[in-house]
Amino acid sequence: MRRDAVLVTGATGNVGRQVVSGLREMGVPVRALTRNPDMAGLPDDVTVVRGDLDDPQSVSAALTDVTAVFLLWPSFSPEGAVPLVEQIAAHACRIVYLSALQAADGPETGWGAVERLIEESGVAWTFLRCGGFAANTLGWAERIREEGVVRAPFANAARSLIHEKDIAEVAVRALTGDGHAGETYSLTGPEVVTQADQARLIGEVIGRPVRFEEQPLPEARAEMLPIFGDAALVDAALAYWGSLVTEPEPVTTTVAQVTGRPARTFREWAEDHAADFR
């Protein structure tokens, strides 16, 4: 019997790569979307398809005989997602969308707006509203490797960062199992860890001390601007991180409820990525 494939967007990214791996382990045929198939580095039994989410026409070939789609939307603005979601809904029965906790603030956030589009498309959906990814700390890797230092603002910002494998395990269940349609899952790591402690834990895992150095806000802002491309987004991110010094991020138990095992700790994440920091 032929099994319909699952299309994984963002298949070369932190989460998508793990989704591909989880689907392969279950024997589900995987189609992986990327803008650069030559650079994808995915296993041979994965059908890699060239496509750009900003150009829905380029995604249409990838959707033939696809039953479910793991969807990320790569931009902060929802503009451009309308034709893509329409296109997916015309082919697939199910979308599992990689959203963010901020979607709870409504459609004025990009994630909330994309959720609304998906709801209105008529396709069965599951929203994975994630807190911050532990993988964001890979941005510290170069300075840790070279100087043994993390230089960032708000040493005491307390975060419940999540391992990409936990998001992917929930995604694979939602893509392949019953009972997830119409569910909005708020996903975080299992504990709150301050940024200073994240640096310390990375140091313990790599066997070399890592020092957290409080970075002045203007310097952080200047470093973030070219990455975020929008001063208002930078200021919002800095204000949010600042707020976490006195109001730590929430911790949910949804990963455990959906997968049957607790979410991985930040230390476990650092162990999985030790090579990046050595």
Ligand X SMILES: NC(=O)c1ccc[n+]([C@@H]2O[C@H](COP(=O)([O-])OP(=O)(O)OC[C@H]3O[C@@H](n4cnc5c(N)ncnc54)[C@H](OP(=O)(O)O)[C@@H]3O)[C@@H](O)[C@H]2O)c1
Q: Which residues contact 85 (CB under 8 A, 6 or more apart)?
A: 95, 114, 117, 118, 121
CB of 277 to ligand X, least distance (A): 17
Q: Which residues contact 167 (CB under 8 A, 6 or more apart)?
A: 15, 18, 98, 128, 130, 133, 187
203 binds ligand X (CB under 6 A): no
Per-residue binding letters, 48-87, with ligand X (x by CB under 6 A): ----xxx-----------------xxx-------------
Rounded (to 5) percent helix, strand, coil in the chain: 45, 20, 35
Choosing from 70, 133, 154, 269, the residue that interacts with ligand X (CB under 6 A) is: 133
136 binds ligand X (CB under 6 A): yes
CB of 138 to ligand X, least distance (A): 9
Q: Which is nearer to ligand X, 52 or 230 (by Cβ)?
A: 52
- In 3D space, the residue among 267, 236, 261 whose CA is nearest the CA of residue 102 turns out to be 236
With CB atoms as reference, the residue minimizing the distance to ligand X is 13
* CA atoms of 167 and 190, how far apart (whole Å): 12
Choosing from 36, 44, 108, 178, the residue that interacts with ligand X (CB under 6 A) is: 36
* CA atoms of 187 and 1, how far apart (whole Å): 35
Q: Which residues contact 45 (CB under 8 A, 6 or more apart)?
A: 24, 30
Stretch touching ligand X by CB under 6 A, among 12-20, 84-92, 197-205, 252-260: 12-20
Choosing from 34, 87, 160, 195, the residue that interacts with ligand X (CB under 6 A) is: 34
Beta bridge partners of 48: 32
CB of 273 to ligand X, least distance (A): 13
140 binds ligand X (CB under 6 A): no
Q: Enumerate binding residues for ligand X (CB under 6 A).
A: 9-16, 33-36, 52-54, 72-74, 98, 100, 130, 132-133, 135-136
